[in-house]
Amino acid sequence: MQDKPMLEIRHFSKSYGGGKKAVDDLSLQVMPGDIYGFIGHNGAGKSTTIRAVVGVLDFKEGEIFIGGHSAKREPLACKQITAYIPDNPDLYENLTGIQYLNFIADVFAIGGREREERIRRYADQFEMTADLGNLISSYSHGMKQKLAIISALIHEPRLLVLDEPFVGLDPKATFTLKEIMHQMCDRGTAIFFSTHVLDVAEKLCNKVAIIKHGRLIAAGSMAELTEGHSLEEAFLEVDGDER
Amino acid sequence: MKGSLLLLRTMRRASGRWNVYRHTADGKLRRKIVMGWVGLAVLYAMLVFYSGAMAFGYGEIGFQDVVPGVCALTVSALAFIMTLFRTNGYLFGFREYDLVMSLPFSARTVALSKFLLMYVRLLPWYLSLSLPMLVGYGLYARAGVWVYPVWVVLTLALPVIPMVAASFVGFLIARISAGFRKTNIVQTVLTFAFVLFCFSLRFIIEDVFRDDAVDAVLIQAAEALDGAISTYPPAAWFTGAVTGENWLGGPLLLSASAALLALVFWIVGGAYRNINSALQSHAAGKRFRMKAQHRRSAEVAIAWKELRRLLGSTNYMVNGAMGEVLAALLGVATLVIGFDKLVALVTNNAPFDPAILHPAIPFIVYFLIGMMATTACSPSLEGKNFWILQSLPLSMQTVYRGKMLFNMALTVPFMAFATLCLCLSAHVSAVHTALYLLLGLALCAFSTAWGCVCGVRFRKLDWGNEIEVIKQGTAVALYLLPNMFVVMGLTVLVVVLGRRMDHAVLALLFTAIAGLLALLSYLRVMKLAEKE
């Protein structure tokens, strides 16, 4: 494993209208090969943090580095090595699946043969190949989610950021995604994802951070955090301590 | 630029109907798309006819030399106004913002691609205006063959500067609004204020160029046109290039357009993410305290929901309530200035008795009030939330009745206020005032029901940006343009008939016609709703 973090968040804060802080002085590091779970209640600040990481949300306080590049000063260099899968992907509904994947492949300048091979591989894994010629507007929520995942994987990112990735996926697709996450992790890709499903986080992640009311209340390796208990018990304990 | 073109290509494909037509197996949807195209073709044809008639009219009276100037100014004005109403929806707060911004595109690239998409979408309107004028000018001025390609190429550049200017105004408004807690309200108020300023600017410009010593209206108009052309350099460049008087005009127009585009989007790109972040975040509300809750009928509940939808969107407010704001301002202006003086101001002191306009008062007010019916776009605005209405134990008739109720509640008070102001100022008798109010009510009912027919018939739920259905949807275009042209025609007709007929009889006659059309449209809505 390399010792330079793939994602480093330093003292990140974000306020919305009314001065309320959605995220308050959050710092964490995700190393290459990490599968890092980001857990917390609804409205805790998970999506705000994730949207700032992937360059969607503007922020003033703090710094975010991806592969050593500053998200503020070098956003394109950061995005070039990052893939983002939102919780409710708003894709171009009037494109077909294959048109959308080709658009993403064009953006990342993936050659014809490579893109064909990767699209085929991931679409087969998610059982989407037969549907790629249909309009995205005709897809179910789960199919849109699968397409968003395929589009995130075809450019082989070094940092994969996912917001509630398992919502809407069928059991087979959930299993496939977890397998792919393990494979990517073995290749040195860093994965940072938010989830409510503590069982999934416990089985999948080697590191976890817990956020509450915008503040990081616990972070570390799974073993450090759980100390022999389940993640659910550990979560409820630190959550209770903060009340 | 490469990234912008890639994004433009994808967004054009994703927001147009051609790709859906190609890939859908749904025959009903395909027919609907074709009908939408036919409707748009009819509207383009109307514009071609209007523009051609103007060019040929100038040619017939020997004024063919003013045609290039008229073309340049008309296209520029159209480009400015159309962009101003769209820029907020196109540039900011669009649905796929997260998707696009998470890809390796700079904010400038994204902003520029959205501008280019707006340009490509509006181009058919500009060409529908410009090309018939080219034909008229070419025939009457016996223009050389080279004029045709030069005119076409420069027509493509002509809208760029006004569009960039309007986009920059939209950007400034969004930038200022982003600093406030109630972003949406500030943005709406500033947009209204700027649009009203633009409307008043027309009178200021005309006042500057007016020469009271010149009596002939046509000569006066031509001189005003010359003045406007010399004030707006792109129009002078275009005119000089196509008439051969200024060979540098073409290169100047092209290079100035490119330079301004690059400069403005360099500035816009710098604050783009900041503005979008501010527009997407909402101020945290105070802690909710439960108060007494009241029961409403289903129709009133739908109408109430429509009001919240209108107030929650700058795009919807600016486009949906502009006519009402203008009508209210017209009413106040008439009371302050006086009906006769206002008529003289608007018609450049044309020599006629303002009293002949009395029977046209309901149509003048309706021209503003009926500019847009919320019912034309509200069925489409349901978008992905349409399932909520579908899953409720409500018939679609009830839903559309609620939407129509809201439009009536929005339009009737403003109609009544403006009509009363105009009638009071024009010293119209009480009986006639009552009849004009009745006619206004019938016209509002017609606007509401006919708008709903268009809205239901051409409902589009799979939009990516609400401006697609508020401003440029087939439903809105099919409601808006014919309604506008017919009202202009009716205003002239009623003035002509008013010279020979009693005004009360005339008002009753038109009330009956408008009422009948409203009833037929209402029944059509109910029938369409029954099929859903």
pLDDT surpasses 70 at A17: no
pLDDT surpasses 80 at B5: yes
A156 touches chain B (CB under 8 A): no
Task: Give the one of A51, A59, A80 whose C-beta lies nearest to B104's C-beta.
Answer: A80
What's the pLDDT band for A91 if we cut at 50, 70, 90? Answer: confident
Determine the residue of chain B that is closest to A20 in CA distance: B284
Predicted local confidence at residue B211, as pLDDT: 47
Residues 262-281 of B with CB under 8 A from A: 273-274, 276-278, 281
Q: CA gyration radius for chain A?
A: 18
Which of B444, B413, B439, B446 minimizes the C-alpha distance to B503? B439
Query: Which tokens sit at B509?
Result: 């006659």
Instruction: Give yes or no for a contact between A37 and A189, defined as CB atoms under 8 angstroms apart.
Output: no
Provide the angle, in degrees to the nearest 10, between the axes of the packed helices B107-140 and B67-91: 160
Long-range contacts of B317-322 (CB under 8 A, 24+ apart): B317/B188, B318/B85, B318/B88, B318/B188, B318/B191, B318/B192, B318/B195, B319/B85, B319/B372, B319/B470, B319/B471, B320/B372, B320/B374, B320/B377, B320/B410, B320/B470, B321/B410, B322/B192, B322/B195, B322/B371, B322/B372
HSE-CB of B350 using CA atoms within 13 angstroms: 12
User: Residue A37: enclosing H or E segment and its boundaries?
Assistant: strand A35-40
Burial letters B432-463, b for 16+ CB under 10 A, else e? bbebbbbbbbbbbbbbbbbbbbbbbbbbbbbb
Length of chain A: 243
pLDDT in tens, B286-298: 566 777 777 888 8
Angstrom distance (rounded) from CA A95 to CA B144: 45
Which of A52, A103, A77 minimizes the C-alpha distance to A158? A77
pLDDT surpasses 90 at B231: no
B259 touches chain A (CB under 8 A): no
B489 touches chain A (CB under 8 A): no
Instruction: Give yes or no for a contact between B36 and B17, defined as CB atoms under 8 angstroms apart.
Output: yes
Q: Do A76 and B105 touch (CB under 8 A)?
A: yes
Tell me, what amino acid is at B127? L
Task: Show residues of chain A in contact with B283, CB under 8 Å.
Answer: 16-18
Task: Give the one of B15, B99, B284 whose C-beta lies nearest to A94's C-beta.
Answer: B15
A105 touches chain B (CB under 8 A): no
Task: Show residues of chain B in contact with A99, CB under 8 Å.
Answer: 10, 13, 19
A91 touches chain B (CB under 8 A): yes
Provide the angle, in degrees to the nearest 10, between the axes of the packed helices B322-337 and B361-369: 140
Task: Give the one of B19, B101, B278 whose C-beta lies nearest to A94's C-beta.
Answer: B19
Angstrom distance (rounded) from CA A64 to CA A72: 7
Angstrom distance (rounded) from CA B447 to CA B521: 9
A140 touches chain B (CB under 8 A): no
Measured in whole angstroms, the distance separating CA A24 from the mean position of its chain's CA atoms is 20
What does each C-alpha distance from A159 to A6, B226, B357 come to in angstroms?
Answer: 7, 61, 70
B282 touches chain A (CB under 8 A): yes
Q: Do A107 and B273 touch (CB under 8 A)?
A: no
What spatial distance separates the first Cα and last Cα of chain A, rounded to whole Å? 37
Count chain A–chain B contacts defined by CB atoms under 8 A. 103
Mean pLDDT of B271-288: 70
Mean pLDDT of A160-170: 88
Helix (H, G, I), strand (E, B) or coil at B232: coil
Higher pLDDT, A208 or A2: A208
- Write down the H helix ranges in A34-131: 46-53, 75-80, 97-107, 112-125
Instruction: Give yes or no for a contact between B529 and B396, defined as CB atoms under 8 angstroms apart.
Output: yes
pLDDT in tens, A184-195: 999 999 999 998
Helix (H, G, I), strand (E, B) or coil at A61: strand
What does each C-alpha distance from A147 to A123, A138, A231, B513 come to in angstroms?
Answer: 8, 13, 30, 54
Backbone torsion region of residue B313, taken as left when φ is above 0, otherwise alpha when ψ lies between -120 and 50, otherwise beta: beta
Which of B260, B179, B491 minimizes the C-alpha distance to B364? B491
Predicted local confidence at residue B220, as pLDDT: 62
Determine the residue of chain B that is closest to A59 in CA distance: B274
Instruction: Give yes or no for a contact between A119 and A150, defined as CB atoms under 8 angstroms apart.
Output: yes
Mean per-residue pLDDT of chain B? 85
Q: Do A57 and B104 touch (CB under 8 A)?
A: no
Task: Mutate one of A23, A48, A54, A56 to test the B interface: name it (highest B CB count within 10 A).
Answer: A56
Which of A28, A27, A24, A7 minimizes the C-alpha distance to A71? A7
Angstrom distance (rounded) from CA A9 to CA A28: 5
Q: Do A92 and B14 touch (CB under 8 A)?
A: yes
Instruction: State the nearest Cα–Cα gap between B402 and chain A, in angstroms.
Output: 28
* Burial class (CB within 10 angstroms; exposed 0-12, middle 13-18, buried 19+) of B293: exposed
Which of A95, A93, A94, A102 minimizes the C-alpha distance to A123? A102
Task: Give the one of A16, A94, A134 whose C-beta lies nearest to B14's C-beta.
Answer: A94
Task: Give the one of B19, B105, B183 whose C-beta lies nearest to A95's C-beta.
Answer: B19
Mean pLDDT of B476-497: 85
Tell me, what amino acid is at A182? H
**Opening angle at CA A32, ends A119 and A49, nearest 5:** 85
Task: Give the one of A18, A58, A135 whose C-beta lies nearest to B273's C-beta.
Answer: A58
Cβ-proximal residues to B208 (8 Å cutoff; 6+ apart), any chain? B227
Residues 152-171 of B with CB under 8 A from A: none
Instruction: State the nearest Cα–Cα gap between B392 and chain A, in angstroms.
Output: 21
pLDDT surpasses 90 at B515: yes
pLDDT surpasses 80 at B263: yes
Determine the residue of chain A that is closest to B105 in CA distance: A76
Task: Mutate one of B8, B15, B20, B98 to test the A interface: name it (highest A CB count within 10 A).
Answer: B98
What values do phi and psi take at B117, rounded to 5? -65, -40
Mean per-residue pLDDT of chain A? 88
The pairing of beta strand A82-85 with beta strand A159-163: parallel
Predicted local confidence at residue B481, as pLDDT: 79
Task: Show residues of chain A in contact with B24, CB under 8 Å.
Answer: 135, 138
Instruction: State the nearest Cα–Cα gap between B180 and chain A, in angstroms.
Output: 8
pTM of the full structure: 0.75
B349 touches chain A (CB under 8 A): no
Instruction: State the nearest Cα–Cα gap between A116 and chain B, in angstroms.
Output: 19
Q: Do A56 and B274 touch (CB under 8 A)?
A: no
Instruction: State the nearest Cα–Cα gap between B95 and chain A, in angstroms.
Output: 7
Instruction: State the nearest Cα–Cα gap between B15 and chain A, in angstroms.
Output: 7
Predicted local confidence at residue B252, as pLDDT: 93
B239 touches chain A (CB under 8 A): no
Q: Do A76 and B274 touch (CB under 8 A)?
A: no
Share of chain A above pLDDT 70, in %: 96
Mean pLDDT of B355-374: 91
Burial letters B318-344, b for 16+ CB under 10 A, else e? bbbbbbbbbbbebbebbeeeebbebbb
Q: CA gyration radius for chain B?
A: 24
pLDDT surpasses 90 at B524: yes
Instruction: Give yes or no for a contact between B477 and B469, defined as CB atoms under 8 angstroms apart.
Output: no
What values do phi and psi take at B248, rounded to 5? -80, -15
What's the pLDDT band for B213 if we cut at 50, 70, 90? Answer: very low
Q: Do A90 and B105 touch (CB under 8 A)?
A: no
| Lowest pLDDT segment from A185-189, B275-279, B517-521 | B275-279
A16 touches chain B (CB under 8 A): yes
Task: Give the one of A94, A106, A107 whose C-beta lies nearest to B462's C-beta.
Answer: A94
What does each C-alpha distance from B197 to A198, A206, B83 come to in angstroms?
Answer: 57, 61, 16
Determine the residue of chain A that is closest to B11 in CA distance: A92
Task: Show residues of chain B in contact with A107, CB under 8 Å.
Answer: 3, 6, 103-105
Q: Do A54 and B102 touch (CB under 8 A)?
A: yes
Predicted local confidence at residue B214, as pLDDT: 41
Q: Which residues pair with A69 in a beta bridge?
A: A66
Higher pLDDT, B91 or B349: B91
HSE-CB of B133 using CA atoms within 13 angstroms: 28
Instruction: Give yes or no for a contact between A205 and A37, defined as CB atoms under 8 angstroms apart.
Output: yes
B96 touches chain A (CB under 8 A): yes
Instruction: Give yes or no for a contact between B245 and A26, defined as CB atoms under 8 angstroms apart.
Output: no
Instruction: Give yes or no for a contact between B198 and B81, defined as CB atoms under 8 angstroms apart.
Output: yes
SS (H, E, C) B442-499: HHHHHHHHHHHHHHHHCCCCCCCCCHHHHCCCHHHHHHHHHHHHHHHHHHHHHHHHHC
The pairing of beta strand A35-40 with beta strand A207-212: parallel
Provide the angle, in degrees to the nearest 10, between the axes of the packed helices B322-337 and B396-425: 20
Angstrom distance (rounded) from CA A190 to CA A201: 15
